Structure 1
Amino acid sequence: MKRVCTLLLAAGMLLGAATGASAIDFKAKGQWLMGFAGGETSPLQKVRDGANKKKYNNEDQFAANQRVRLQLDAVASEALSGTVFFEIGTQAWGKAANGGALGADGNNVIKIKRAYIDWVVPQTDLKFRMGIQGVALPSKAGGSAIMDTDVAGINASYTFNENVSLTALWARPANDNYQGYLKDGNGKYHQNYLDNMDLFALMLPVTLDGFEITPWVMYGMQGENTLAGYNADNDRSWGSSDGNLAYSLRPYPVALSNQIGDTSKAYGSMFWAGLPFAITAWDPLNIEVDLNYGYVEAMGRYDAPRDGGAWSKRASTERSGWLAKALVEYKLDWGVPGIFGWYGSGDDGNPKNGSERMPSIVPMGNFTSFLGDGNYGWMWQDFALDYSGTWGLGLQVRDMSFMEDLKHTFRVAYWGGTNNASEVKYMTNSYAWAEGYGTGTSPYLTTEDGLLEFNLVNSYQMYENFDVNLELSYVANFMDSDTWEKAGARDSSFQKQDMWKAQLTFAYSF
């Protein structure tokens, strides 16, 4: 904490000096979060360890965390400003590594989350944002299932009139992270070679009376070493807290990092497209729809073992698929009842032709608040999902209020799978479906599986800037044991369990 105080003191001195020397207007905002949670977040109870079974999840069932975010805007005029966004935490109480233990002197606590400048071309409506910034691809029902995160890049937007505008984006999620060496065509060895990923997007927001639509497309390219920093143990070598590209761009959980062979391609193509729209003309009725498609070119092949390795099939790392989401709500005086649903394409049971699940970068699906990002997910296993390979149907009543300053949201949603059950035979163990669970991708559900999720979120606004949030969630697990016992040479160790959590969050925002 001493480092934090020193940083804030230095920043205050610099701001004081700068304010007196120029006409820059400094604006500050931020948020303090304090949270306490308990629960069971693993869908599996026990797995096989040699000849015995062992508990799958050995993490604590109670956690106390805190996080601080501070944003400072230096505004010169409506045409020029700069922003820096600090994040302190998340700090787990009692954990020395992040400053939560006795003495509070942990390292790596303060992070730069965003740092960018905004400027306008003189005498035009052309605006630019340059630097590390928040980028969310256009979405409506259920949040973005492809990308909603912080990333370095350039965003340019132009307003044609009050109804139509155009936004162009170049983002660089990864570069210079590969630590190995590669020989080029001239026989020279290079480090950090062919390891960049670049994304180029165009978005066309159209707003009419009672109707909104934003068609968009995004092309990407990844070098042959872009994902080389990841290994089979899910090591985030880049130090990123958002997403896991090795899971969301490749055919996991069938393809493991250490299985994938070399490729002769220097770069591989990626492509996404979306068509989100909302109909509000029939207020108080609200209709939202989001259609998405994604494709990632194969970058190497691998052997997909079957029946525990008795034999294998040469498989492709290509991944492509689609997703449709919808929400219908009707506003009443006491709350907003609604129905929501989604359907995503799933694997066809043949890894030879790759995966038929839609790929993603950093998804933030928010239909629900346990398996999704519909509440303060930072506190206890933030499962921000892409919905790939699943379908679902849910009912909700949000923002119910029977007492001043107190609101409730209740949801119930059934999750089903669209992946062919025969795909399980190519997985190395009976708990492979959970390999991607909690890494920014959906749990791997086959057509024989299901989950039933319940959420109750209560929010009390104690003061204008202070909220107390209580969430109670439960997930009934209907995974099919007969299906998953066929994985890993017919491993009979599959033992599922229900999941639940109770979390209490205190949020001070200014």
Structure 2
Amino acid sequence: MKRICTLLLAAGLLFGAATGASAIDFKAKGQWLMGFGVGNASPMDTYRDNGVKTKGNTDDDFQAAQRLRLQLDAVASESLSGTVYFEIGTTQWGKSSSGGALGADANNAIKLKRAYIDWAVPQTDAKVRMGIQGVALPNVAGGSAVMDTDVAGITVNYKFNDNVGLTALWARPLNDNYVDNQKSTQNNYLDNMDLFSLMVPLTFDGVKLTPWAMYGMVGKNALNRQWDPKTSAYDSVGTSDGNLPYSLRPYPGIGATNGNIGKTSNDYGTAFWAGLPVAITLWDPLNIELDINYGYMQGMGRFDALKSDGSSKRASTERQGWLAKALVEYKLDWGVPGIFGWYASGDDGNPKNGSQRMPSVAASGNFTSFIGDGNMGWIRQDYSLTYDGTWGIGAQIRDVSFIEDLSHTFRVAYWGGTNSTGMVKYMDNAHSWADGWGNNTGPYLTTNDGMVEFNLVNSYKIYENLEMNLELDYVINCMDNSTWKKANGGNNGSFSKQDMWKAQVVFAYSF
């Protein structure tokens, strides 16, 4: 009798769960990536600091890795749903810490990418998304130069009519990461970063534009994970999308006589961005895209910038700048040829008035696929996701297809610098130009420096849901050795540059 009661109870619980779940429609989608790549993504062959010679790249030439992303949507109705999005990997084959070694038992490879709920405000056309979500500020022509990432926050969308809409955003990229080595009672003190944005999408016949603006509050400790005034003010909060002190603070690799930034009376610094992306298709098949951006980050203290002759100059941590980028394409039966270009403000050589490069939060520039992020840069990480301090021009032919299910994209681009050569004398060493590589901001290019990039991307649709993506890249390194010898350390901080290249194949199963 006891067993029968237990079975009846279990059946009742199961029936109750099934009844409750019947009102929810579960939808699953995801993507498996299997990638194999060979190449050398380091712009330096070797470099020397204080007489010590170091190899610029210690990674294996060949890498094999995999990644899985799974998204589950729980849909109650058109007005209410919830989403959870997991990422397993990147798992490098043979690496124990990522779960790719013999036995594959690592437990640290599963990550929460997104988790949010969508709901509609009753009796209105307003839609709300709350939680960790993907946020890309409005952009065209080469991706977002300010922010395109996953972030915790709230987004509210309202559509007035077919032509005018409104989007409001509050995001919190950082909070409670600060550790004070001097006063543990001040851990997590004034270390939040909050962003508030308004976007107004406007749609007309043949023209789309979205003016937007974003205001930010950045706590004076937000960019420090571990701060010690006796060592460095550049101990930073690293994120999966980059190193914020590289994209918000004034200069990479700058020398300082006391190693740290002076105190500030401001608890919070002000940040501000604005943009105007415009897409014009009035003269189809001609496509024109133009994007203009401005960014500002308030100075939060001053420091003594050390010059190569041993003297120093008082410097500001303020940073502000602008960017304009454009794309023109013409669609033909056999492909889409186009030209693109951009120009971003650069440092003027005087650290006293701060940096003139546009700050960013988590940019995702995608004009190109090696220095940029225009293809699957996942197996061998693409390094530059922002355009600050650079200018460039390029040409491409995309979506060329001569065989069914096989398409090709070829592009060539020149990257130049807009930073004054006078800034070099404030840099720590001769290879400070490469400090941004690996920090998602790209190289620091002066007006004497440059890069020439070639991309060939081939996509073959094996099945409806399975694609093979083959990418071949080569970058000619045109950094000017004579310019960078003026950095601190002189010959003691020398470097040997090299060209970069990559060949990779990725199998992508999407469902």
TM-score range, shorter chain: over 0.9
Contact 2:254/2:426 (CA < 8 Å) preserved in 1? Answer: no
For 2:302, the equivalent position in structure 1 comes to 301
- Which residue type is aligned with residue 186 of structure 2? H
Residues 137-286 of structure 1 aligned to structure 2 (within 5 Å):
137-180=137-180, 189-229=185-225, 237=237, 240-255=239-254, 258-286=259-287
CA–CA separation in structure 2 for the residues paired with 1:23 and 1:487: 66
For 1:326, the equivalent position in structure 2 comes to 326
TM-superposed deviation, 1:384: 4.3
Contact 2:224/2:237 (CA < 8 Å) preserved in 1? Answer: no
TM-superposed deviation, 1:181: 6.8
User: Deviations for 1:434-472, whole angstroms, at most 9, x for unmatched residues?
Assistant: 111231213100000110000000000000000000000
CA–CA separation in structure 2 for the residues paired with 1:134 and 1:490: 44
CA–CA separation in structure 1 for the residues paired with 2:217 and 2:403: 52
TM-superposed deviation, 1:488: 1.8
Contact 1:155/1:168 (CA < 8 Å) preserved in 2? Answer: yes
Q: Are positions 1:420 and 2:420 aligned together?
A: yes
Change (3 A) 1:254 1:234: closer
Residues 495-506 of structure 1 aligned to structure 2 (within 5 Å):
495-506=496-507
For 1:132, the equivalent position in structure 2 comes to 132
User: Deviations for 1:373-394, whole angstroms, at most 9, x for unmatched residues?
Assistant: 1000111022242100000000
Contact 2:280/2:289 (CA < 8 Å) preserved in 1? Answer: yes
SS at match of 1:467: strand
Q: How much is the aligned-residue C-alpha RMSD, in angstroms?
A: 2.1
TM-superposed deviation, 1:123: 1.6
TM-superposed deviation, 1:249: 0.2
TM-superposed deviation, 1:260: 1.9
SS at match of 1:30: strand
For 1:380, the equivalent position in structure 2 comes to 380
Contact 2:430/2:489 (CA < 8 Å) preserved in 1? Answer: no
- Which residue type is aligned with residue 199 of structure 2? M
CA–CA separation in structure 2 for the residues paired with 1:501 and 1:316: 39
User: Deviations for 1:65-107, whole angstroms, at most 9, x for unmatched residues?
Assistant: 1100000000000000000000000011111011010110113
Change (3 A) 1:21 1:50: closer
- Which residue type is aligned with residue 151 of structure 1? V
CA–CA separation in structure 2 for the residues paired with 1:181 and 1:154: 33
In the comparison of the two structures, how many residue pairs are matched? 492
CA–CA separation in structure 1 for the residues paired with 2:110 and 2:163: 41
Q: Are positions 1:91 and 2:87 aligned together?
A: no
Q: TM-score, normalised by structure 1?
A: 0.93
SS at match of 1:378: coil
Change (3 A) 1:49 1:389: closer
- Which residue type is aligned with residue 144 of structure 1? S
CA–CA separation in structure 1 for the residues paired with 2:331 and 2:174: 43
Contact 1:94/1:101 (CA < 8 Å) preserved in 2? Answer: yes
Q: TM-score, normalised by structure 2?
A: 0.93
Long gaps (5+) in structure 2 = 1-12
TM-superposed deviation, 1:169: 0.2
Name the stretch that deviates more: 245-254 or 76-85.
245-254
SS at match of 2:178: coil
CA–CA separation in structure 2 for the residues paired with 1:344 and 1:219: 21
In terms of Rg, which structure is larger?
A: 2
Contact 1:384/1:440 (CA < 8 Å) preserved in 2? Answer: yes
Q: Are positions 1:114 and 2:152 aligned together?
A: no
Contact 2:287/2:328 (CA < 8 Å) preserved in 1? Answer: yes
Contact 1:366/1:384 (CA < 8 Å) preserved in 2? Answer: no
Long gaps (5+) in structure 1 = 1-12
Change (3 A) 1:416 1:83: same
SS at match of 1:444: coil
- Which residue type is aligned with residue 194 of structure 2? D
- Which residue type is aligned with residue 78 of structure 2? E
SS at match of 2:429: coil
Q: Are positions 1:349 and 2:345 aligned together?
A: no
Contact 1:181/1:193 (CA < 8 Å) preserved in 2? Answer: no
Q: Are positions 1:439 and 2:429 aligned together?
A: no
Contact 2:255/2:305 (CA < 8 Å) preserved in 1? Answer: no
For 2:3, the equivalent position in structure 1 comes to none
Contact 1:181/1:192 (CA < 8 Å) preserved in 2? Answer: no
TM-superposed deviation, 1:427: 0.3
User: Deviations for 1:489-510, whole angstroms, at most 9, x for unmatched residues?
Assistant: 3236221110000011000000
- Which residue type is aligned with residue 61 of structure 1? D
CA–CA separation in structure 2 for the residues paired with 1:113 and 1:52: 41
TM-superposed deviation, 1:201: 0.1
CA–CA separation in structure 1 for the residues paired with 2:40 and 2:242: 22
TM-superposed deviation, 1:122: 1.2
TM-superposed deviation, 1:254: 4.3
TM-superposed deviation, 1:235: 6.6
Name the stretch that deviates more: 490-499 or 149-158.
490-499
TM-superposed deviation, 1:191: 2.2
CA–CA separation in structure 1 for the residues paired with 2:489 and 2:508: 49
SS at match of 1:491: helix
Percent of aligned positions that are identical = 68
TM-superposed deviation, 1:414: 0.4
TM-superposed deviation, 1:55: 1.6
CA–CA separation in structure 1 for the residues paired with 2:389 and 2:329: 25
